[in-house]
Structure 1
Amino acid sequence: MAATSRGTTPEPPDVRPRLTVLSGPSGVGKSTVVAHMRKEHPEVWLSVSATTRKPRPGEKHGVHYFFVTDEEMDKLIANGELLEWAEFAGNRYGTPRSAVLDRLEAGEPVLLEIDLQGARLVRESMPEAQLVFLAPPSWEELVRRLTGRGTEAPEVIERRLEAAKVELAAEAEFDTTLVNTSVEDVARELLALMKVL
């Protein structure tokens, strides 16, 4: 039986939104889930990363990425202005800290969609963040998704599969696991975890 205290009003639960980090292996469908979720719930703020990568056709500065020079990225890192950063395929990517903190202070739910390395760094700098692991229904399905794109050379696919094994092994480091059997279902579960529903 639960203990009750007399004469005191219980503290209201803290309803301020937490930072939610979505991570998982390459090919699991993180971007697809996030795009579906934001179409239904545009009030969920997705952090925009800074990158030293050159813009691809159609990409807009401040919408898809903040495109910065190597010198600008060096400064952001040196000044502690990034929650996390990583190098991938010769380019650096990072999450601007102030934008995330400003949105959280304003009471807005914030979502980061990043890789395993980034998720670990966020856990270090913001232990209160909620880390969500997006898992494939099976290893076979993940292999099918990674090889089915048909846009990459066999050695690139091999590297991705090796990386995916490492990423899948890190699942226990996360607070919650969602299995991507249906984009709609996972988006709904993620919204519920973020207390948006």
Structure 2
Amino acid sequence: MASSLKNIIVLSGPSGAGKSTLLKRLFKDYPDTFGFSISRKCILIVRFLMDNLYKTHTTRAPRPGEQDGREYHFVSNENFEQLIKENAFIEHAKFSNNRYGTSFKAVGDVVKSNLKCILDVDMQGVKSIKNSDLKAHYVFIAPPSIKVLEERLRGRQTDSEESIQTRLKTAEAEIAYSKEPSAHDIIIINDNLEEAYKKLVNFILGDSKKETQQTTSSL
């Protein structure tokens, strides 16, 4: 699948780094610019982004009021497996016993509609996309440090101790991967929300060649 480098953005980063907050603001400020891919981590953003929603395949049952092709493409486990065999997905993952997949076709539909497509995926999703022929910008949203990330996660007061430790362990692996050469086009350290947002907008909508990639030496 040949794709425009300007139109596809792969966004990743640890839970608690601020991706959801940045995305919500991005869609609010530029409602006619973006399409969105729901990965397994992005379900909470769905209602906010309904008008610009990029449709993901899922094996979970529709909830009351949901329609096939509007919120998601609802498919059976058998159909999902067949799509995997056909290499239809850019990336796919399992979350809460349900499977979610980002298809090449759906991304292509967003690009054809002259919207920028944002793929919010985890580290494995980034690696999978890099192994495909999809051409994209790769943006990593990083916390100032693991200590700050832990403070943010605990400040939510929504996660168990086990969940927090799992997220921190995952974050360490994601940050380590982000330091590998050419893993991402830009690393934005979210130590100040306003500054992080400006850098994200400038990178996506401005001249990305002039954007200086940050490092995570402080992590």
Tell me the TM-score range normalised by the shorter chain.
0.7 to 0.9
1:114 and 1:134 map into 2 onto residues whose CA distance is 12
Residues 59-138 of structure 1 correspond to what in structure 2 (within 5 A)?
A: 62=69, 65-126=72-133, 128-138=135-145
- Structure 1 residue runs of 5 or longer lacking an equivalent are 1-14
Identify the residue that residue 9 of structure 1 maps to in structure 2.
Answer: none
Identify the residue that residue 166 of structure 1 maps to in structure 2.
Answer: 173
Identify the residue that residue 6 of structure 1 maps to in structure 2.
Answer: none
RMSD: 2.6
Aligned to 1:170, the other structure's residue is in SS state helix
Aligned partner of 1:37: which letter? L
Alpha carbons 1:20, 1:129 under 8 Å: kept: yes
Aligned to 1:147, the other structure's residue is in SS state helix
Identify the residue that residue 8 of structure 1 maps to in structure 2.
Answer: none
CA separation of 1:171 and 1:16: change in aligned 2, threshold 3 A: closer
**Of residues 29, 32, 53 in structure 1, which corresponds to 2:18?**
29
Q: TM-score, normalised by structure 2?
A: 0.72
Aligned partner of 1:35: which letter? K
In the TM superposition, residue 93 of structure 1 has moved relative to its aligned partner by: 1.9
| Aligned-pair identity (%) | 38
1:40 and 1:62 map into 2 onto residues whose CA distance is 26
Kindly indicate whether residue 192 of structure 2 is the aligned counterpart of residue 182 of structure 1: yes
- Structure 2 residue runs of 5 or longer lacking an equivalent are 38-53, 208-219
Identify the residue that residue 30 of structure 2 maps to in structure 1.
Answer: 41
Alpha carbons 2:140, 2:188 under 8 Å: kept: yes
CA separation of 1:185 and 1:44: change in aligned 2, threshold 3 A: farther
Q: How many residues align?
A: 183
Pair member with larger Rg: 1
CA separation of 1:149 and 1:191: change in aligned 2, threshold 3 A: same
